[in-house]
Amino acid sequence: MAAEGWIWRWGWGRRCLGRPGLLGPGPGPTTPLFLLLLLGSVTADITDGNSEHLKREHSLIKPYQGVGSSSMPLWDFQGSTMLTSQYVRLTPDERSKEGSIWNHQPCFLKDWEMHVHFKVHGTGKKNLHGDGIALWYTRDRLVPGPVFGSKDNFHGLAIFLDTYPNDETTERVFPYISVMVNNGSLSYDHSKDGRWTELAGCTADFRNRDHDTFLAVRYSRGRLTVMTDLEDKNEWKNCIDITGVRLPTGYYFGASAGTGDLSDNHDIISMKLFQLMVEHTPDEESIDWTKIEPSVNFLKSPKAPPFLLPQTTWTTPRGTSAAGP
């Protein structure tokens, strides 16, 4: 998909077990971004966290205490979701299944990082499997729907791990990871694999791997970063890095998956949330973060529908600083 656009990419270096990602080298290729809302500029810096800031009330870790339990209701699940001692299976490798798991407590952290240990696998051959996993930070929870087993027109953040190309004209290579931020006004278009509402994305070969696969999502001071560890090298690889993202506090973390005519096993092994210790200005601290509208402050789609406003685009060349203009 030929497009102009810019995004900041920054590798986090080696993936240390139990720790959030570390700073590492260099910007990567550019990716298209899409305008949702125009807001003031937000300055963002990658920050580091420590293992002692693991927030267990928002983490799903073996043994899965508190999953679906009335005595310790940290996580709830619905649909085809099945709990085992080793993984939470959102869908089995069967047609027309939907399942999800949701944290019971809203998250009031302004800066956070989520590590997800997951596995997508099945018997289907190339392009004969689907549909994928969605990771959520949204206002509503436990609402089934057509977007990877969860509701459309959501409020908040979604990261889609899509394994099947519905758009036969796409130039993307699947599996494909993409990000969407929504204030409830946008609908995810399955027929175009969410192309019109995608903020950024990357190809990621995570299906049917014979080793562990991980994804990390970091949100800090308006900067949203997605990294992967799919090669069994204990290293984070850059996927998505964008600024100008505004997300409220008080939303819920979750994961969902869906199958249609094609299917896969979609498993979550763990979800670990880390608090990032970041200083905010007095003006930022005075904001009621629960009232923030989910939004992104730029930029344009290569083939923008009429409701998307084209904006000036920038390209970050290889080998130059990713600190942005």
Domains of the chain in sequence order: 54-295 (2.60.120.200)
Q: Are 4 and 315 in contact (CB under 8 A)?
A: yes
- pTM beyond 0.85: the answer is no
Rounded mean pLDDT, 251-279: 95
Q: Are 34 and 199 in contact (CB under 8 A)?
A: yes
Reduced to 3 states (helix: H, G, I; strand: E, B; else coil), residue 246 is strand
CB atoms inside a 10 Å sphere around CB 232: 11
Integer Cα distance of 80 and 112 in angstroms: 29
Question: Which region among 27-36, 176-185, 228-237, 277-286 has the lowest average model confidence (pLDDT)?
Answer: 27-36
Count H helices, E strands: the chain? 1, 16
Cβ neighbors of 70 (< 8 A, separation 6 or more) are: none
Cβ neighbors of 211 (< 8 A, separation 6 or more) are: 232
Rounded mean pLDDT, 43-52: 41
